[in-house]
Copies of this chain bind each other. A is one copy, B any other.
Amino acid sequence: MSNRLEIGQKTELLNEAFHYIDRYSQKVVVIKYGWSAMDDKEAQRSVLDDVVTLKKLGLRPVLVHGGGKEISEWSKKIGLTPTFKQGYRVTDEATMEVVEMVLNRVNKGLVNSIHELGGRAVGISGKDAGLLKVKKKYVAKENDPNGVGFDIGYVGEIVAVDSKIITDLLDKDYIPVICSVGFDENHHSFNINADDAACAVAMAMKSEKLAFLSDVPGIYKDPNDSSSLISELDCDKIDDILEHGQTIGGMITKLNNCKEVIKSGVERIHIMDANVPHSLLLEIFTDSGVGTMIRRS
C-alpha cells in the first residue's frame, strides 16, 4: 500500500520533470557560480554534476564564474593589500596580473572537474575571440553623485559582447566555462564583476534562463525571517520588494540587474543556494524548486 503510494509520488515527480525537459530542450541556461560557494569541494562537485546532467538532457548550459577569496590570498602572498570601494576590488596593474592568473587557473580547474564528471568543457575568458569588451568603470562618490567618481583601476564595465565563440562551442557540444576578465579598446585586461558578466552573457545569448548559484537561498520577504523565502516572483513585483522587503546590500544590485535582464528577453532568473545538493536540478525540473524564481510578468 505504502509502495503503491510511493509509485504515485514517483510518477508525479517524473512527469513534472519530464515536462520541463521537453520544454527546455536545446535552450541556453547561463549559470553564475559564485565564489564563496566554490570553497566546499563537495558542493562544487554537486553543482558541476548538475551542469553535466543539464547538458546530457539536451539543455545548453553556460557557466560563468568569478574568483574571490583566492585572489585576495594571492595578492597578500606577493605583498599587495586587497582594497575595496563599494564592493569593487581596487585593481592596479599588479593586482590585475594576480586577478587574471587566479581566475584562469580556477577556470581550468572547473573544466577539469567537469571532465572528471563525464562532461566536455572548454574554459575561456572574456579575452578569447573578443568575447567581453569593456570600458573603465568609475564608482560614484557619495558626496558627489554626478561627478566622475572614484578611479578603481582596471575594473571594467561591459560595453559589447561578441557571443559567437559561445554559440560555436555549444554547437560543437562543449560546455563553455567563462571567467570574468575582459579587454578595453587598448586591449588592456580588465577585471569584471562576475554577476555583471553572467547578466551580459545571458542577455547577448537571449538565454532561456539565468541561474545564480551562491550561498544565498533566494529572496526573502523579510530578510530576518528565514521562513519567508519567496518561491516565485513576478518581475514587476521587484520594485515592491526593493521598497519594503529585501534590503541586503548585494541583493539590491542583483535585483536591479534582474529587471534589466528579463526586459532584454531572458525568460526566467533563478537564485538558489549552491550548498543544497543538486539545487540546480531541483530548481529547474520541479514545480516547487528550492530557491526564488523571477519570471517575466
Contacts and interface: CB of A to CB of B under 8 A. Distances in A.
The number of times this chain is found in the oligomer is 6
A58 interface: yes
Nearest to A55: B22
B128 A15 contact: no
A21 interface: yes
Contact of A101 (B10, B101, B276): B101
Interface stretch (A117-125, A213-221, A248-256): A117-125
Contact of A105 (B11, B100, B121): B100
Contacts of A171: 172
B123 A111 contact: no
A13 B127 CA distance: 32
Nearest to A7: B282
Contacts of A21: 21, 56-57
Contacts of A120: 129-130
A27 interface: no
12 contacts: A7-B277, A8-B277, A11-B277, A14-B286, A17-B18, A18-B53, A22-B56, A101-B105, A108-B181, A108-B189, A123-B127, A129-B174
